[in-house]
Amino acid sequence: MNACLPACMPVNLGRQVNPGGRMPAPRQTGARYTSSTSMRKIIHIDMDAFYASVEQRDRPELKGKPVVVGGLPDSRGVVAACSYEARRYGIHSAMPSSRAHKLCPHAVFLTPRFDAYRAVSMEIREIFLEYTDLMEPLSLDEAFLDVTINKKVMPLATRIAREIRDKIRLRTGGLTASAGVSFNKFLAKAASDYRKPNGMTVITPDKAGPFIDSLPVGKFFGVGRVTEKRMQQLGIMKGKDLKMMSRERLVSLFGKAGNYFYQIAHEKDERPVTPEWVRKSVGKETTLQEDIVDMEIMRGILAGIAERIEIILRKMKLQGKRVTLKVKFSDFQQVTRSTTLAEPLVGSIRIMHHVMRLLDSTEAGKKKVRLLGITISNFTDGDYGPGSPVQLSLPLEGGASQSG
Ligand SMILES: [Mg+2]
């Protein structure tokens, strides 16, 4: 999501929070979900072409037209979202807006109105909470719900998903959402993507195997564009190819993520649905309007980011011990530098003190910089909530798929 925003747009759509959750220890028995009593019911809801749909709702003259939300064509910005009409021209999120303009010169380009999107986001989250408090937002327009036990005592997750989609349409002035229903997060997310827009897919345990077999690896949650390319070069095109690889081989190829790929290919994903308040990090970043080499300008930009982070941390009553600096250079090479302190970092001045030391350990100043970001994590006890889920580190570069 971060990559999908226009230049100079401060970003914090909560992506850093996810994918949260605990990966299970490898099971010795190879047990499958055979008993319905032990099976979870997970729904993934994803609004269709969210930002663009909100624009088309608020400006009916845009209905049926290619609409691109994000950077304007003459900027260095990128496409944050686009309508299905625009997708027909090959436009997709994270593409430079200038390229989108070349593909479809008559598309309507709009800068994002995050307040409007946030308002809709609040409305749909209210609907989710009518059913369960186990609701984990992935971004403004996407969330996982665990409805195994739900407030309405409804036995069928499919029925709940249908009701939620109806309520969204009624209460948001006609916006549509797609839903995936399954017994784990990975399958629920892949399912919501399967019949977009305005569709619903249910994957029961007996259908999970064939579904995964035919799923292109690029559609796997956690496989970004880089990993997808790498897998394709190795001849891993679909789930069935992934399934044929041993765990050891996948780990040797993809590190820790290989273990995750192995598990999901075998239908195993026991990550819990983690409510938003179990927040694990707060981060912000800025893509610069022009690449810069001047360290003083970088310091000024980072100080601004640190101040914004301080405000959020104060509002959320969070204190973190770890600070991470992210630097992307003009050649798109990206580095992160972190330091963990014994005591929580309080105040933007202290944050900046460490950020500048981290900056000195990069090539910034020698090389031109195009993006700067700061993240605070390792919050002190009490802020994690029960369970303290372990962060699952995954190469989520670029996101698994176009966020529809
Ligand atoms: Mg979406």
pLDDT digits (tens, 9 = 90+) for 1-17: 333 333 333 333 333 33
How far is residue 341's CA from residue 106's CA, in Å, rounded to a whole number? 52
- What per-residue confidence (pLDDT) applies to 79? 94
Q: Sheet harboring 79-82: ordered strands across?
A: 79-82, 67-70, 108-110
Residues with catalytic roles: 142
Q: Which of 202, 195, 150 is nearest to 176 (CA)?
A: 195
- What per-residue confidence (pLDDT) applies to 26? 34
- What per-residue confidence (pLDDT) applies to 83? 97
Is the pLDDT at 295 greater than 90? The verdict is yes
Distances (CA, A) of 399 to 24, 26, 179, 231, 337: 23, 26, 18, 15, 22
- What per-residue confidence (pLDDT) applies to 292? 93
**CA–centroid distance, residue 34 to ligand 1 (Å):** 32
- What per-residue confidence (pLDDT) applies to 276? 67
- How much is the mean pLDDT over the chain? 85
Q: How confident is the model at residue 403 (pLDDT cuts 50, 70, 90)?
A: very low
pTM, to two decimals: 0.65
**CA–centroid distance, residue 343 to ligand 1 (Å):** 39
Q: How confident is the model at residue 318 (pLDDT cuts 50, 70, 90)?
A: confident
Neighbour tally for 33: CB within 10 Å? 14
What mean pLDDT is predicted for residues 340-369?
A: 93
Q: Which of 358, 369, 364 is nearest to 323 (CA)?
A: 358
Find where tokens 């308040």 sit: 277
Query: By the 8 A CB rule, do 329 and 367 touch?
Result: yes
Which amino acid makes up residue 194? Y
Residue with the larger pLDDT of the pair 15 and 316: 316
**CA–centroid distance, residue 191 to ligand 1 (Å):** 13
How far is residue 191's CA from residue 279's CA, in Å, rounded to a whole number? 26
- What per-residue confidence (pLDDT) applies to 279? 66
Query: By the 8 A CB rule, do 104 and 97 touch?
Result: no
Terminal-residue alpha carbon distance, the chain: 12
Query: By the 8 A CB rule, do 189 and 144 touch?
Result: yes
Residue with the larger pLDDT of the pair 386 and 284: 284
What mean pLDDT is predicted for residues 282-292?
A: 88
Q: Where do the domains of the chain lie, and which CATH numbers do they carry?
A: 39-46+116-265 (3.30.70.270), 50-114 (3.40.1170.60), 281-379 (3.30.1490.100)
**CA–centroid distance, residue 174 to ligand 1 (Å):** 15
**CA–centroid distance, residue 403 to ligand 1 (Å):** 5
Query: By the 8 A CB rule, do 300 and 52 touch?
Result: no
Is the pLDDT at 32 greater than 80? The verdict is no
- What per-residue confidence (pLDDT) applies to 296? 92
**CA–centroid distance, residue 74 to ligand 1 (Å):** 26
Is the pLDDT at 29 greater than 80? The verdict is no
Q: How confident is the model at residue 301 (pLDDT cuts 50, 70, 90)?
A: very high
Per mean pLDDT, which range of 175-179, 302-306, 395-399 is the poorest?
395-399
Is the pLDDT at 329 greater than 50? The verdict is yes
- What per-residue confidence (pLDDT) applies to 277? 57
What mean pLDDT is predicted for residues 195-221?
A: 95
